[in-house]
Structure 1
Amino acid sequence: MKKISLSVDAVQISVEQGATILEAARQAGITIPTLCHLPKKISQESHCEVCVVACEGREGLIKSCATPVEEGMVIITENDAIKAHRQERVAALASIHFGDCKAPCSLTCPGQINVQGYIAHVAKGQYAEGVRLVMEKNPLPFSVGRLCRRFCESRCRRVLLDDPIAINHLKRFVADWCMSNQVDLNIQKQPATGKKIAVVGGGPSGLAGAYYLAKSGHDVTIYEAEKELGGLLRYAVPEFKIPKKVLDYEIATILKLGIEVKCNHRLGQEVSMDELNSQFDAVLLTIGAGVDQPLGLPGSDLPGVRPALDFLRKYNAGGEVKQGKSAAVIGGNNVAMEAARALLRQGYEVSIVNPKKDISGLGANPVAIQEAEKEGARFLFQVDPCEIRQQGSGLELVMNQLELSEPDKKGKQKLQPVPDAFDVLLVDTVVYSQGQIVCQSDETPAADVALSPKNLIKANVKTAMTSMDKVYAAGEAAGGSRPLIQVVSTGRKAAESIHSAVMGLAPAPAESRFNFTRGKSAEDSKVLERFTKQERTPMPTRTPETAVLDNEEVKLGFDEAAAKREADRCLECGCMAFDDCDFKTLCIDNDINLNKTGMGTVPAYSLDQSHPMLDVDLNKCIYCQRCVNACAYEALDLSCVSKDEQGVATGISLSFNDNCVHCGNCADFCSTGTITKKDVLSPILNEETRKVRTTCPYCGAGCQMQLKVKGDTIMEATSESHLAPNYGALCVKGRFAFNFAQDKARLTTPLVRRDGKLVEATWDEAYDVIAERLTKVKKEHGSDSIAGFSCARATNEENFLMQKFMRTVIGTNNIDHCARL
């Protein structure tokens, strides 16, 4: 065929006559974006119009996907006019795209966990996979599952129907299930790098940092000042919140990655910064904020006045002896709530004293506040402690009464002291928690590492770098008191920075915050019409009257039935095509700002679930028509009522006619997630997956497949257009019927009958039984008494071996295959 020469972005190209400009560019490795085009599909009708280019000698812009090459063409794929056109076109298409990229729960999670994903695994009974997914961002699911602030639940769209999903309880369930069933999660490490990293501090941020550094292939050593790892999770959180056996199991899971541990090594005493810098390629400081800020009141040094962390350490060690009957807790943070609940378990009458207006002003987790109140703690608000005095064998806590000021110009009121108005609380013990710091002002935890005025380690927010070369800091030591999931997240992010630095890599780019969202429009009936109200599954909990009598765990956890029932309530808000959405990628590449250019705000269509294999959500459709181009059978009927002056379609209609063979090509090529497969388990949010090439097991045709695999779970089955003999085509079984591979009922080991019962056996034992039985039948009844059949799932190679075995070993021609091809 005749060759045509042309220039694309100053690159000389020779292609066959009849090729399009787009095909010529791709042949030269030059990318021209497109939403509607597929190879060998040329259409003159205007669809996405983002593939436009400029051609010298021609006015305006031309569509590269529909314009054949001509001799001597000089093509430009990028200039100001082209960029402006693409931005305008993509923004216009975005204006009708209504859907969520990420589910609101995942967006809100400080740990960036794929919440929708692990809930889907719970619903399918894939609990180990659920834990592995959580641990991609949070290696402490046991602790976080018990202590999390639950930011995700605050944005759960289920609240528009009834109550939010019990997301955190499900995280705890999958972790506890794996512990109860002694599941080996088989967390994989990258090949060894030869780099050595020291982590100073074995609390939650240190454990998280060590976990991700070890996963990256580094040799990691944790230096811990105390006798055991865990930090404040062990020494400040009572067992009624996290039992020690649970914490021990969680830590052991992390250490399985080969992390070395050196306890009783306090920085500045048993080990110095100079030693660490000389022996390691990097040092991560996660020493925590384990010192209570001073109370700073007259009388705060009296006997019976104690910092909360000091009290909790002794309580958790079992060494606390009750002194008196009443106690006051000064403070409103999480540590204060744990101290109050511990005091209640020792028989104290507890009053929590705080200058805030009401409970909403406290800094503690609202759940922790509710638990303390239910168990009997009394809250005193609008009082400001100002002095502690000795009164006999007890104490007097003097508190200034507070009142709301007159509203200012903005209508706001402030609490202010009431002149000469004081309350006196008689107690035997005062425990205070005003916040935590790394050290007292006259101490230096790490020589040459700069501290902030609040006695926290100065560290770059993005890189975690401190003032000292090769030294990083994370957790509460660098950021102060914060919710546990944020503490864990800082350890992970610091590990990522360290990995980039020691390996000489450019820092990983931050994940794009670009996101389509349905906002609160989900209240529209078209979004919620397929869901029914379901009561939130309550967490089995000991009664407060019983719980305060001992130190046993209060919340008992979901059983399997409750977990599945709760997971089934998920609305699956996030897009199942998140990881391969071409439209989202195009929006990001063209700097589309949805806050300025707009996006769909209300649903115009109901979800169509009439197809046995596919779901269709036309609210996401931008009418690019790539689904039609992808169909080899003309099985899709796609139309619209009209288009506006920008070419944006309205009144879109899509249906499948009788030509549909359920091959799923339309879903694979859909550019927006409008057409999705019913069997896709969950969205993949920037997570690592393995692509496994294999042969379809359903017949002997030998079709090549590409499986998308996470952990031990097949997420999706696709095929590549260059793989013979099917060249991208798959039948309905190949594309959709892969779930048998991970069905719990599937046999993965041979069974043999012994004493009338089927029991598991090795493959060699099974082969021996088969050989023995066939030999016996052949001897007694002759070769022709035996016939061989292979199932439809057998490959050509397996069929060949079966017939060869029957003819040469058994000696019979009685063979057949139930799907003769």
Structure 2
Amino acid sequence: MSTVTLTINGNEIVAEEGLTILEVAKRSDIRIPTLCHVKGKPSTNPCEICVVEVEGQEDLMRSCVTLARDGMNIQTESEEVFSHRQDRLAIISETHFGDCKAPCNLTCPGQINVQAYIAHVSKGEYEEALRVVMERNPVPFSVGRVCPRFCETRCRRLLIDEPVSINHLKRFVADWCMSHEIDLKIPKDKPTGKRIAVIGGGPAGLTAAWFLTRKGHEVTIFEAAPKLGGALRYGFPDYKIPKEIVDYEVNAILRMGINIRLSQKWGKDFTLQDLKDMGFDATFIGIGATIDVPFDVPCTDKENVYTATSFLRMINEGRKLDLGRTAAVIGGNNIAMEVARSLLREGVEQVTIVYPRARLEMPANQRNVKEAENEGVQFLLMASPSGLCAVPDENNRLKLDLIRMKLGEPDKKGKRDILPIPGSTNSLGVDTVVSSLGQMAVNGIISGGELEEQLKITPAGMFVSNPRSSETSVDGVFAGGDAANGSKSVIQAVVSARRAANNINAYVMNCEKDPADNRFNFTRGKSFDDVSLKNFDEIAINLREKMPERPPEVSTQDYDEVKLGFTEKMARREADRCLKCGCTAFERCDLKRLDIELNVNINKTGMGTVPVYPVDTSHRAITVDPNKCIFCGRCERSCEYDALEVRAESVDEKGRPVGLVIDFKENCVSCGKCVENCSTGALNKKNRIVPIQAEDVREVRTTCPYCGTGCQMILKVKGHTVMEVTADPEIGPNFGDLCVKGRFGHNFIQHPDRLKTPLIRRQKGMPLEPVKWDEALDFMGQAFSRILGEKGPDALAGLSSARCTTEENYAFQKFFRAGIGTNNVDHCARY
């Protein structure tokens, strides 16, 4: 065999003669990127990404077609090569039109793969949908009830009719799994020997404990209250989050193996130094923001004057309060809305929220404002309290002095301060006043010890923590959630605590923290104004499912949950409204990967802005979106049957197609190899509607059971769900090829109608009834024994299914041949 000796990136390589530079580099583990390469089938419209610099050559050379020659000195990563690849990628990317991630995914603070769990719901895969959510959010039961729904504000369905009820679907899958007693069997890493203390058992503390335990650390939660849950238990009334939901959610988290110590108050029962002395390697502070900002007007020391969090805590603990007939709530935040609605449920006839600005300027979510208004809460806006010193009349216990407010001139940022209107004082007679002016984590200095004194506190009463590392001013002590960021939503507390857990793991293990999700994104429009309505030409109006609710006249009489939740049919219908904006080829898109790798800024260099071609769904197994096609031709050249044609009426001056056509011929056998070779998401499997984004996917290598060829295939498994089937082009006998059954015939595994429980018919003519496996096996054993005794082994025969695994089919035939003693065994796909 003749050989050549050449140098690549300073490495001397001996290779057999007749190979291209690309092939030599690959065999030497030197990576040269390419978008269009198919071995042995050069492109007529080359991408030019694989170019290299060859000493003595004036121009860059395409490594996919240039043969390696003796004495060559090649550079694959020079500045000139890098610049050329960048330019070519920018040109190719300019016409690529689609979304990498859906807008709902990008808007979710929790970075949850929203489109994925909605797709699972549409397929009836509720367990897997919840598993997707809990990869990023361990408290979906609560968040599904109180989330501000940032994701829904960017749902493109809004451009047609109404946004998808994303949060209600999250609640549905959580409640469904709870009612069906589903154990998600969330995995965790092997024990690390590291111990972490978590101070606070609210949403932030529970989240940090959950993710740290999954990393293999031993975690102990120290909670001042007699029960875990924090704001979920003591801050939200039962009509928002019932206590049984909190109990279930907390117990689901504790089943991961988390230690708890209840009724342990920081600064009284333990200090930070005590935790160090106990052997904890790091501490997370997640105590929330439970101290109310004082109601700073004269005479607030009277009876029947409460602060919001203390009031809600008393309500949630079941304490009976004498609240009178009328009440005023000072403040316009979300907690103020819950206080007002709780006052109605406590029998207060008239509840008024007092706020110094306009309704739209309230910090409360407008949905919460509307719900309070629907239940009868009144609003006194552009007014501010000035004192409680006046003598009340005989009909009220308190007289709240108010002054009317107006907006001042806008400052440089456009913000307008509120100013009192002279001479506009009036009074409001009430029996109870509750102030809700904001919350803080600390009121002054933390008591306890020397380490507590070293903790820096912000002027707003929060712990100072590094936004990148989550670490406080004390080494090894971290903070997150409301305690560090101020009072925000539950999902934002979860995000902060998850980030802190990642940082704590890196700290105690002395390793790099998990990288953040890359924000690179092709998009069909960053804002609604940027989105072409041509995207929705074939979409009919279909209004969202209406959440079943108890009417206000009934719901205000007790603390039972107001929103009753979707039924299964409602959830499936709502999930089907999803437009599936994000690309389901996200994890295999070579164009995106190379753009990121080579630092191509598509926001500056450009990307497609309008759909040029309709999406073609006429193929029985494959969806074709020519708007994503970059005309690399890999799909066409990888087809063994010449069953696919990719052509263009012309190409522009940069080599990009005009009048693109992707046409499947009648001889297509739906093997799907073209999809596997597509460098973007232009070709995709119809049954693959769940995008995978920075999530763990296991690859299970097995043998296809559908016939006797023995094709080797790879199952891509996420959670407990087979996402798709592929094959390795380097392994025989199929070398990457699969038939339509091998590549597409796996949907039955997750089908909701699939039998997962044995059924037996006890008597002829009787219906089949579900039984436990032990009973079913005993029933079959007795029947087999009777037939064997009466008629011998050849009276029995076994017919196995091609939908069983190869291992199962092997065990099946072994049972009949060795156990029963008969060769009457067949397979439904043998012929």
TM-score, normalised by the number of residues in structure 2: 0.94
**Which of 570, 586, 596 is the aligned partner of 2:604?**
596
1:563 paired with 2:563, answer: no
Separation in structure 1 between the aligned mates of residue 310 and residue 805 of structure 2, nearest angstrom? 68
Contact 1:700–1:796 (8 Å) recurs in 2: no
Contact 2:705–2:806 (8 Å) recurs in 1: no
Change beyond 3 A, Cα 1:127–1:815: closer
Where do 1:362-401 residues align within 5 Å? 362-392=362-392, 394-401=397-404
Segment of structure 1 superposing worse, 174-183 or 775-784: 775-784
**Cα distance, 1:441 vs structure 2:** 2.3
**Which of 590, 611, 614 is the aligned partner of 2:619?**
611
Segment of structure 1 superposing worse, 202-211 or 546-555: 546-555
> Which residue in 2 is equivalent to 1:174?
173
Separation in structure 2 between the aligned mates of residue 347 and residue 795 of structure 1, nearest angstrom? 63
Separation in structure 2 between the aligned mates of residue 388 and residue 110 of structure 1, nearest angstrom? 41
Opposite residue 507 of structure 1, the aligned amino acid is K
**Cα distance, 1:463 vs structure 2:** 1.1
Change beyond 3 A, Cα 1:645–1:303: same
1:486 paired with 2:492, answer: yes
1:518 paired with 2:524, answer: yes
Q: What is the SS of the residue equivalent to 1:384? A: strand
> Which residue in 2 is equivalent to 1:328?
328
**Cα distance, 1:323 vs structure 2:** 3.0
Deviations 1:379-412 (A, max 9, x none): 1111122222242462222222123456789988
Separation in structure 2 between the aligned mates of residue 669 and residue 679 of structure 1, nearest angstrom? 17
Contact 1:234–1:244 (8 Å) recurs in 2: yes
1:428 paired with 2:431, answer: yes
**Cα distance, 1:750 vs structure 2:** 4.2
Contact 1:282–1:498 (8 Å) recurs in 2: yes
Separation in structure 1 between the aligned mates of residue 529 and residue 39 of structure 2, nearest angstrom? 38
**Cα distance, 1:179 vs structure 2:** 1.4
1:437 paired with 2:440, answer: yes
Deviations 1:39-80 (A, max 9, x none): 33334x342111110101111101111111111111100112
Deviations 1:731-788 (A, max 9, x none): 0001001011222333345444324454556767666655665565566567766666
1:552 paired with 2:557, answer: no
Contact 2:202–2:232 (8 Å) recurs in 1: yes
Opposite residue 420 of structure 1, the aligned amino acid is G
> Which residue in 1 is equivalent to 2:203?
204
Contact 2:798–2:816 (8 Å) recurs in 1: yes
Separation in structure 2 between the aligned mates of residue 412 and residue 223 of structure 1, nearest angstrom? 42
**Cα distance, 1:423 vs structure 2:** 2.5
**Cα distance, 1:692 vs structure 2:** 1.0
Opposite residue 58 of structure 1, the aligned amino acid is Q
Change beyond 3 A, Cα 1:581–1:761: same
Contact 2:141–2:171 (8 Å) recurs in 1: yes
**Cα distance, 1:263 vs structure 2:** 0.6
> Which residue in 1 is equivalent to 2:405?
402
Q: What is the SS of the residue equivalent to 2:473? A: coil
Change beyond 3 A, Cα 1:792–1:645: same
Deviations 1:329-381 (A, max 9, x none): 1111111111111111122211111111x221011122211111111111111
Separation in structure 1 between the aligned mates of residue 777 and residue 732 of structure 2, nearest angstrom? 34
**Cα distance, 1:303 vs structure 2:** 2.2
1:77 paired with 2:76, answer: yes
Change beyond 3 A, Cα 1:483–1:762: closer
Change beyond 3 A, Cα 1:574–1:521: farther
Change beyond 3 A, Cα 1:57–1:374: same
Opposite residue 105 of structure 2, the aligned amino acid is S
Contact 1:239–1:316 (8 Å) recurs in 2: yes
> Which residue in 2 is equivalent to 1:162?
161
**Cα distance, 1:817 vs structure 2:** 5.1
**Cα distance, 1:237 vs structure 2:** 1.0
Contact 1:526–1:606 (8 Å) recurs in 2: no
**Which of 698, 702, 708 is the aligned partner of 1:700?**
708
Separation in structure 2 between the aligned mates of residue 107 and residue 711 of structure 1, nearest angstrom? 22
**Which of 664, 668, 673 is the aligned partner of 1:665?**
673
Q: What is the SS of the residue equivalent to 1:401? A: strand
Deviations 1:483-509 (A, max 9, x none): 111011111110011111111111222
> Which residue in 1 is equivalent to 2:146?
147
> Which residue in 2 is equivalent to 1:741?
749
Separation in structure 2 between the aligned mates of residue 310 and residue 767 of structure 1, nearest angstrom? 59
Deviations 1:782-802 (A, max 9, x none): 776666655555788887887
1:351 paired with 2:352, answer: yes
Structure 1 runs not aligned, ≥5 long: none
Q: What is the SS of the residue equivalent to 2:761? A: strand
Separation in structure 1 between the aligned mates of residue 827 and residue 530 of structure 2, nearest angstrom? 52
> Which residue in 2 is equivalent to 1:229?
228
**Which of 455, 461, 464 is the aligned partner of 2:461?**
455
**Cα distance, 1:294 vs structure 2:** 0.9
Change beyond 3 A, Cα 1:113–1:793: closer
Instruction: Kindly report the root-mean-square deviation, in angstroms, between the aligned alpha carbons of the 2 structures.
Output: 2.4
Opposite residue 706 of structure 1, the aligned amino acid is I
1:711 paired with 2:719, answer: yes
Change beyond 3 A, Cα 1:789–1:227: closer
> Which residue in 2 is equivalent to 1:39?
39
**Cα distance, 1:603 vs structure 2:** 0.5
Identity over aligned residues, as a percent?
50
> Which residue in 1 is equivalent to 2:121?
122
> Which residue in 2 is equivalent to 1:66?
65
Opposite residue 493 of structure 1, the aligned amino acid is R
Change beyond 3 A, Cα 1:776–1:268: closer
Q: What is the SS of the residue equivalent to 1:6? A: strand
Separation in structure 1 between the aligned mates of residue 305 and residue 218 of structure 2, nearest angstrom? 44
Where do 1:750-769 residues align within 5 Å? 750-755=758-763, 756-759=766-769
Change beyond 3 A, Cα 1:39–1:317: same
1:500 paired with 2:503, answer: no
Opposite residue 353 of structure 1, the aligned amino acid is V
> Which residue in 2 is equivalent to 1:416?
419
